[in-house]
Amino acid sequence: MRGMIMSTESQTFTEKFDLLGCIQCGRCTGGCPVTVRTNLNVRRFVYDAYSEEKLEELAKLAEIWDCTACHTCAVRCPKGLKPLEVLIGLRSMLVDSGKVQSTVRNALESVYLEGNPWEKPKATRYDWMEGLDVKLAKPDTPVENLFFVCCTIAYDPRLQVVAKNMVRLLNKAGADYGFMAEGESCCGSEIHTLGEELLFEEIVGENTAFLNDFQARRVITLSPHCFATYKARYPHLNKPVLHYTQLLAELLQQGNLSWGHDLQKKVVFHDPCYLGKQSGVYDEPRRLLKSIKGVELVEFDRSRERSLCCEGGGGKMWVESESKKERLAETRIKDAHNLGAQIVAVACPFCVLTLEDAMKALGYEEEMRVAEMTELLAELA
Amino acid sequence: MTEKPKLGVYICHCGINISATVDVEALTEYALTLPNVKVARHYSYMCSDPGQLLIKNDIKAEGLNRIVVASCSPRMHEPTFRKSIQAAGLNPYFLEMANIREQCSWVHEDRTEATIKAKKLVAAAVAKVRLLEPLEAREVEAERSALIIGAGIAGIQAALDIADAGFKVYLVEKSPSVGGRMAQLDKTFPTLDCSACILTPKMVDSANHPNIELITYAEVEEVKGYIGNFEIKVRKKARYVDFDKCTGCGDCASACRVANRFASEFDEGMGKRSAVYLPFPQAVPAKYTIDPKSCLYLTKGKCGKAPKCAEVCGAGAINFEQTDELVEFKAGAIIVATGFDVFDATGKPEYGYGQYPNVITGLEMERLVSASGPTGGKIKVFNGAEEIVPQEIAFIQCVGSRDKSVGVEYCSRVCCMYTAKQAHLIVDKLPEAKVRVYYMDVRAFGKGFEEFYDRVRREGVRYIRGNPSEIFKRGNKLVIKAEDTLTATPLEDEVDMVVLAVGLKPRSDYRTTMELLRLSQSPDQFFLEAHPKLRPVDTATDGIFLAGCCQGPKDIPDTVAQAKGAASSAMIPLAKGKVTIGAQVATVFEATCRGCGFCVSICPYSAIELVTVNRMGHMIEVARVNEALCKGCGSCSAGCLSDSIQPKSFRDRQILPQIAALGVLR
């Protein structure tokens, strides 16, 4: 029972999560987006976890799997605590004892064996490149922008287009870049939130060594989840990490990118939690959208720092929610519909999946479209 | 000194503070083995009367001429023991303290090791005390006047006290009127006195007092000198209105071509003013000012055919040719009373401040609820484009207080009570309204505070224990996303208006003041007092004092109390008419000084300058120390390339044997 008393080294659960720093102000639960549809009350977990003897019991509560790891609780906490990590700590107790859903177990095992959580073979990770003029990075060749492709984008047929479009945009801009044709492996973002700490530590070590080996000025990620994880949880990475919207905004500003077509549409941008709240990138995606002639950019009332989570993170791809209440992605799509938006622009593979599902479920397919930013931009370039 | 050193060593138990960890008897025996030590004693409280008497009697009976006291930090009791050995006829600087409390007993647990360390500290003090020279403190004349920076309630109160005592006061205020933050407030908690009603008489007094020279719309630009003799330069900004001619009639403001176009600073942007303006009706002095940033004539060089203000002014007071004026004077003491700014609520974007017009700050609420405010005291706000009288009102506590996420860890001390007061005022004005206060702790610690909090709850104000996380809009309602932590219920409460109880922050320009006066900051960024308990109004610089919120958040009674304390401390040199200059200052050995000026650039007190002297017919530059400014910190000595500048009592030949003694225990 490693998770119970000594999660890592000799720290107790209370020490590890600084539970005694909590003043029970309620901002964590107050800000938690899933409270409208589940019983999760993260403040209660922080409070109850003071008692080490209760931990096992707490870990059995189904709510611990409702957390989407959006980090709102951590961003709002006035004392610098990360309440969601308490839930992850409880999850890790279950992972250690093997008491997790088979979907979770399979995802973890797949990362361990194949370097991705989607139970796909390692070797087919680069299939998306087929037929494309992709520049490949080699450790001994200096390159400006080293690309890291998210597992979901690499394998999911709906999302491979993100990587493909990225290549088209980079080639058009004449950018100095390189994609990896071997050795690329899951960043571990979802492994961490699912609670598999040991595996995550191993992944961090391996990826750090792998990426540090490249003579690249910086690493560009396609998913905000990889972006936030590399930035926050890879202390020994020797390169700065950017999200691709930052790079594209830079290329646009330098005059290396331009749009050949107009887009006469009302567009709303949905801030992904991992890009916005967690990493503070709000302006670059908007700058890109505003640069398109004809686009009328509208804003959600809950935008930027107050963006509403789509429920795609926190390992939720592998844990089905039991709540029958309206999904947050549906709330979001309804809000977009009320704004009269014809396009919901997103910059995260998970947001594409959740919001597109919601749009279909609500029957708005005729009126609007969920588009990954690269899809819009590559069409116009 | 040709006299043979005869030493007395006095070891303090400090109750059990020292004796529990250090073997004082063994230490005493050890002290007796040290060279030149004639007497060594230990006693429970050496600083007590009987303790001091021990030393005095021994000096007389045994003919001691050097004293070592092994006790606490010299910061605490060095002055005490200097006085007692002086009373017994010794030069007060023939004393060395061995700090065996803060530097030994308090920080160690092992008694054997601590005793060994105490022995080393005593041996070192003994080694040094033998080499000390007699020094004389000097007195210089002190200017019998004070400078007070900032004319809010703290500055005004301190000015009135000092002026009433018969001393001259220069009261300098940055804005066009005195009154500060207190003038902006409506009622005051918990007594509900009208803030303006109790403040205005004092404002008027500060302008009319024969001993106060009120200098408004001005900034202190330079402060040189030292306690008793500060030399001050103040820039009086051009008002573009002749101060003596202006009658305060206000015709200019009504006639102004850009009348009521600019956000009124006094009304926190809730109201408008003209380019020529009086900040508020009761402003003192009642003289108009032209804001150079908003005046058409001053920004664009023309205002129609001719500025209308000048056309309508019957007194002919408008003067666009006016320029800044520099005023110079001397003062014996300075009181800093620069006040505070409120937390900028856009720093917490989750609350939508700046985005929703019906989310306002506590200070804006003061103006909204005030009869002299932009709505004449009517509670109404814009909800989107529509003006409404809110029926459901929420207060959120601790916005920009106790919040690491915005870098403010402290409690601002006034928000709980100003919120309770504002909630009461709303209940009073809008009896049908639902008023809720979202809080995490209610801190009602002052006189009458808890009673007031009780009253407000009984008036129907609903207190909900949970600090909200987010505000967003649903339809035409604001939604407060929070948790009622007492029932563990997540909430999405719909309201018409939100008041953010913003906390207190240091003035945005605190750095300028800090650099001007060489002040220090505490970790909360407010100005640092010399001692948190015993010298709460003093600063590290003699003669400079703090009053009011520049030192930390406080309410009006505490501010006034501190202002009175600062005034009374500032009056000490003024009343004496002279100040004592410390004797442990740096001296220059001119024969070896090369005049490189390195010490001049190092000195944190600007106490050193280069002067030209005649050295055997050659005119050369050497360093010279202004003993009144020198604090004896030793920075110059550490930097000097030729060992030519050294502080008295800390010369190399005095401290090197002391250091050597630390390393060798016989």
Convert A240-277 into a string of H (helix), E (strand) and C (coil). CEEEHHHHHHHHHHCCCCCCCCCCCCEEEECCCCCCCC
B469: which chain A residues are within 8 Å (Cβ-Cβ)?
Answer: 26-28, 30-32, 72, 76
Structure tokens at B637: 């000595």
Please check whether the domain covering A258-380 is classified as CATH 3.40.50.
yes
Separation CA B333–CA B141 (nearest Å): 13
**pLDDT, tens digit, 9 for 90 and up, residues B556-613:** 999 999 999 999 999 999 999 999 988 999 999 999 999 999 999 999 888 999 999 9
Locate the domains of chain B by residue range: 7-136, 145-237+324-339+507-578, 251-312, 341-505, 586-647
How open is the CA angle A313-A319-A325, to the nearest 5 degrees? 85
How open is the CA angle B524-B526-B528, to the nearest 5 degrees? 105
By CB atoms closer than 10 A (0-12, 13-18, 19+), residue B587 is middle
B492: which chain A residues are within 8 Å (Cβ-Cβ)?
Answer: 36
Beta bridge partners of B399: B502
Q: Which residue of B has its CA nearest to A26?
A: B466
Residue A2: which pLDDT band, with cuts at 50, 70 and 90?
A: very low
Q: Give the best residue of A27, A37, A40 to mutate against chain B (max B CB count within 10 A).
A: A27
How open is the CA angle B366-B367-B369, to the nearest 5 degrees? 70
B380 pLDDT higher than 90: yes
Residue A10 has a pLDDT of 75
**pLDDT, tens digit, 9 for 90 and up, residues A336-379:** 999 999 999 999 999 999 999 999 999 999 999 999 999 999 99
Q: Answer yes or no: same fold for A103-251 and A258-380.
A: yes
Residue A1 has a pLDDT of 37
By CB atoms closer than 10 A (0-12, 13-18, 19+), residue A10 is exposed
**CA contacts within 13 A on the Cβ side of A256:** 14
Least CB–CB distance from A26: residue in B349, B403, B466: B466
CATH architecture of B145-237+324-339+507-578: 3-Layer(bba) Sandwich (3.50)
DSSP letter at B102 equals I
Q: Do A36 and B466 touch (CB under 8 A)?
A: no
By CB atoms closer than 10 A (0-12, 13-18, 19+), residue B608 is buried
Q: Within an 8 Å CB–CB cutoff, is residue A43 touching chain B?
A: yes
**pLDDT, tens digit, 9 for 90 and up, residues B312-349:** 999 999 999 999 999 999 999 999 999 999 999 999 99
**pLDDT, tens digit, 9 for 90 and up, residues B308-317:** 999 999 999 9
Q: Within an 8 Å CB–CB cutoff, is residue A8 touching chain B?
A: no
Least CB–CB distance from B402: residue in A24, A41, A78: A78
Mean pLDDT score across all residues of chain A: 95
CATH architecture of A103-251: 3-Layer(aba) Sandwich (3.40)
One-letter amino acid for residue B262 of the chain = F
Kindly give, in sequence order, each residue whose CB lies less than 8 Å from that of residue B328, ignoring residues fewer than 6 positions away: B231, B232, B233, B234
Separation CA B190–CA B81 (nearest Å): 47
Q: Which of A85-94, B279-288, B627-636, B643-652 has the lowest mean pLDDT?
A: B627-636
Please check whether the domain covering B586-647 is classified as CATH 3.30.70.20.
yes
A5 pLDDT higher than 90: no
Q: Do B470 and A23 touch (CB under 8 A)?
A: no
Kindly give, in sequence order, each residue whose CB lies less than 8 Å from that of residue A35, ignoring residues fewer than 6 positions away: A29, A41, B483, B490
- Percent of chain A having pLDDT more than 90? 93
Q: Within an 8 Å CB–CB cutoff, is residue A41 touching chain B?
A: yes
Q: Answer yes or no: same fold for B145-237+324-339+507-578 and B341-505.
A: yes
Assign a CATH topology to domain B7-136: Rossmann fold (3.40.50)
Residue A327 has a pLDDT of 96
Residue bearing the bigger pLDDT, A53 or A9:
A53
**CA contacts within 13 A on the Cβ side of B511:** 1
Residue A98: which pLDDT band, with cuts at 50, 70 and 90?
A: confident
Q: Which uninterrupted H or E stretch holds B610? A: strand B608-615
Beta bridge partners of B263: B272
Structure tokens at A216: 């690249």
Region A315-329: mean pLDDT is 91
Region B143-150: mean pLDDT is 98
Q: Within an 8 Å CB–CB cutoff, is residue A188 touching chain B?
A: no
Q: What are phi and psi of B62, to 5 degrees?
A: -100, -5
Q: Give the best residue of B412, B469, B480 to mutate against chain A (max A CB count within 10 A).
A: B469
Locate the domains of chain A by residue range: 2-97, 103-251, 258-380
Provide the 10 A C-beta neighbour count for residue A143.
Answer: 20
Residue B328 has a pLDDT of 98
Least CB–CB distance from A30: residue in B352, B403, B467: B467
Q: Which residue of A has its CA nearest to B408?
A: A78
Assign a CATH topology to domain B341-505: FAD/NAD(P)-binding domain (3.50.50)
Kindly give, in sequence order, each residue whose CB lies less than 8 Å from that of residue A157, ignoring residues fewer than 6 positions away: none
**pLDDT, tens digit, 9 for 90 and up, residues A175-232:** 999 999 999 999 999 999 999 999 999 999 999 999 999 999 999 999 999 999 999 9
Are the C-beta atoms of B102 and B647 separated by less than 8 Å? no
A30: which chain B residues are within 8 Å (Cβ-Cβ)?
Answer: 466-470, 481-483, 490-491
Q: Do B350 and A41 touch (CB under 8 A)?
A: no
Separation CA A49–CA B487 (nearest Å): 18
Are the C-beta atoms of B324 and B238 separated by less than 8 Å? yes
- Percent of chain B having pLDDT more than 90? 94
Q: Which residue of A has its CA nearest to B399?
A: A78
Q: What is the DSSP string of A46-103?
A: HHHTTSGGGHHHHHT-GGGGT-----HHHHH-TT---HHHHHHHHHHHHHHHT-S-HH
Q: Do A28 and B469 touch (CB under 8 A)?
A: yes
Q: Give the best residue of A29, A81, A332 to mutate against chain B (max B CB count within 10 A).
A: A29
Give how far Cα B253 sits from Cα of B135, B334, B404, Å.
Answer: 64, 36, 44
Region B479-490: mean pLDDT is 98
Q: Which residue of A has its CA nearest to B352?
A: A306
**pLDDT, tens digit, 9 for 90 and up, residues A40-58:** 999 999 999 999 999 999 9
B398: which chain A residues are within 8 Å (Cβ-Cβ)?
Answer: 25, 78
B403: which chain A residues are within 8 Å (Cβ-Cβ)?
Answer: 78
Tally C-beta pairs within 8 A across A and B.
82
Mean pLDDT score across all residues of chain B: 96
Distance from CA of A81 to the nearest CA of B (A): 10
Residue A215 has a pLDDT of 96
Structure tokens at A111: 């990362």
Structure tokens at B549: 């919120």
Distance from CA of A223 to the nearest CA of B (A): 24
Separation CA B602–CA B625 (nearest Å): 13
The ipTM of this complex is: 0.93
Q: Give the best residue of B470, B476, B489 to mutate against chain A (max A CB count within 10 A).
A: B470
Q: Do A23 and B466 touch (CB under 8 A)?
A: no
Q: Do B466 and A44 touch (CB under 8 A)?
A: no
Structure tokens at A39: 């019983």
Backbone torsion region of residue B255, taken as left when φ is above 0, otherwise alpha when ψ lies between -120 and 50, otherwise beta: alpha
Q: Do B469 and A23 touch (CB under 8 A)?
A: no
**pLDDT, tens digit, 9 for 90 and up, residues B178-213:** 999 999 999 999 999 999 999 999 999 999 999 999
B484: which chain A residues are within 8 Å (Cβ-Cβ)?
Answer: 26
Give how far Cα A22 sits from Cα of A14, A284, B113, B407, B440, Å.
Answer: 11, 35, 39, 17, 12
Residue B138 has a pLDDT of 87
Residues 44-73 of A with CB under 8 A from B: 44, 72
Distance from CA of B452 to the nearest CA of A (A): 23
Residue A6 has a pLDDT of 43
Secondary structure (3-state) at B609: strand
**pLDDT, tens digit, 9 for 90 and up, residues B93-130:** 999 999 999 999 999 999 999 999 999 999 999 999 99
Give how far Cα A234 sits from Cα of A25, A88, A229, B14, Å.
Answer: 31, 18, 7, 52
Region B444-467: mean pLDDT is 98
A7 pLDDT higher than 70: no
Q: Within an 8 Å CB–CB cutoff, is residue A257 touching chain B?
A: no
Q: Is the peptide bond prior to B374 cis by the omega test (within 30 degrees of 0)?
A: no
DSSP letter at A158 equals T
